[in-house]
Amino acid sequence: MATEHAEQALTPSSYITHHLTFNAQPVGDGSFWMLNYDSLVMSVLLGVVVMGLIWWVARSATSGVPTKGQAFVELIFGFVDEQVKNIFHGNRHSFIAPTALTVFLWVLAMNAMDFLPVDVMHHFVYAPLGLEHWRSVPTSDINTTFALALAVWFLMIYFSIKVKGLGGWIHELFCAPFGSPSFAMPKSIGGAIGLILSPLLFVANFAFNLIEYISKPLSHSLRLFGNMYAGEVIFLLIGLWAATGVTGTIFGAILGAGWSIFHILIVALQAFIFMMLTVVYLAMAHESH
Amino acid sequence: MNINFTLIAQAIAFAVLIWFTVKFVWPPLLTAIETRQKEIADGLAAAQEGKSALDVAAKKSAATLNEAKQKASEIIGQAEKRGSQIVEEAKGNAKAEGDRILAGAKAEIDQEVNRAKEGLRAQVSALAIAGAEKILRKEIDGKAHSEMLANLAAEL
């Protein structure tokens, strides 16, 4: 641990709190106007590195015999393109497929920062740079995952309106999924009661759609955030055990290695799920009901 | 873990990354892959075409070969016919020539025989005259009897 912590009593809660505190700096008045520099710097850096690498390969992409680098990039390209093709049946190349590629690679890279050993990174990289708090995993910041989910949410509404028109979108808000009331002349008493009650369908439809529109970005962002945050916390707990003595260190190392290996699956899986949900939501926005 | 301005900053970063990928990353990769797919498809189609062309050419060459064989045997047949014809002709000519030579030889022989006969006739008559002269020298008039002997000789 860093030396400044040696002065205070190093308790398990202070250790965990220290590793879960963002490098937040105020950019204005009020609690909202804070900026988590660690999340922003790490995510932008990773975005630039990952997409820059892909771009560097794509720039000199040849239709002839590909280089090994191009073959690798094409493997990823083909994987993402195949997934999008199965879900979205429109012109995917103009927007949705490249978006899916961005989401997949960026989230994968951000998730993969979880493999950096927190204490080693802090001791040898962040503390020497004068950074008291620095969190390496941008996706364990709810702001990052929610920003992504919210961006997808806005895209969803944008495509809904673009495909169906503003009127079509509003019609769908009130008339789907349970259907719209019929205003034909009633032929029986039951029909008359139905006619009186049928405007309730508008309410039911709208309530259903409202819940869907609220739950989509929440589940989308919280799933990723929860997985990555939990992964980080488990690394910290293993780190705590490692601090208890020689036995703890040995078991901590074994468990840490085990959790790291299992976490590779979670990192890749969560990135994949996030991409798939992005594609599914955007594809659903293109469908008319 | 409270929501703060980071949300907006990350959303902007996300938007920029999407824009970058849509604009600069996806199109060249798509173009490269689709061009390659088209090239491979074209290549396969060309190979198929070449294969069928080869089949057609093989059939054509077999037909041409057959035709040539047929023609060759026809020519050989004609040549054989013509050859035997020539031989027949030559045989005929040779026979005619032989006959002609034979006839000439025969005529010559007849001529020779006649000439020899003439000579002999003359000699026989001379001998007969000479013998008769010796026998009859004393009693026969040579002049009157030579005419009679000449007539006798002409009868030979």
Average pLDDT, chain B: 90
List all residues of chain B from 112 to 141 with a beta carbon under 8 Å from chain A.
none
Of A44, A101, A143, which has the smallest distance from its Cβ to B7's Cβ?
A143
- Does the model's pTM come out above 0.90? no
- How many whole angstroms separate alpha carbon A55 and alpha carbon A49? 10
- At B141 the pLDDT is 65
Average pLDDT, chain A: 89
In a domain, B7, yes or no: no
- How many whole angstroms separate alpha carbon A288 and alpha carbon A270? 29
In a domain, A64, yes or no: yes
| Average pLDDT of the residues in B13-40 | 94
- At B142 the pLDDT is 65
In a domain, B121, yes or no: yes
Residue of B nearest to A151 (CA): B11
**Among A198-212, B42-56, B62-76, the least confident range:** A198-212
| Average pLDDT of the residues in B10-16 | 95
B29–A61 CB contact, under 8 Å: yes
> How far A163 CA sits from the closest chain B CA (Å)?
20
Residue in A51, A72, A108, A224 to test binding to B, most B beta-carbons within 10 Å: A51
Which position has the token pair 């309410």? A203
Q: Domain range for residue B136?
A: 28-155
In a domain, B132, yes or no: yes
In a domain, B104, yes or no: yes
- At A6 the pLDDT is 44
Total domains, chain B: 1
- Band the pLDDT of A1: cuts 50, 70, 90: very low
- Length of chain A, in residues: 289
- Statement: residue B44 has pLDDT above 60: yes
| Average pLDDT of the residues in A74-86 | 95
> Phi/psi of residue A277, each to 5°?
-65, -40
CA separation, residue B34 to residues A93, A128, B39 (Å)? 12, 49, 9
In a domain, A65, yes or no: yes
Contact of B19 with chain A, judged by CB distance below 8 Å, is answered with no
Catalytically annotated residues of A = 219, 223, 227
- Statement: residue A131 has pLDDT above 50: yes
In a domain, B22, yes or no: no
Q: Domain range for residue A120?
A: 15-164+217-286
In a domain, A10, yes or no: no
Token readout for A243 is: 């601090």
Contact of B107 with chain A, judged by CB distance below 8 Å, is answered with no
- At A9 the pLDDT is 65
In a domain, A273, yes or no: yes
- Pair A205, A177: CB distance under 8 Å: yes
> How far B43 CA sits from the closest chain A CA (Å)?
13
A51–B21 CB contact, under 8 Å: yes
In a domain, A160, yes or no: yes
- Band the pLDDT of A24: cuts 50, 70, 90: confident
Which position has the token pair 């590909």? A66
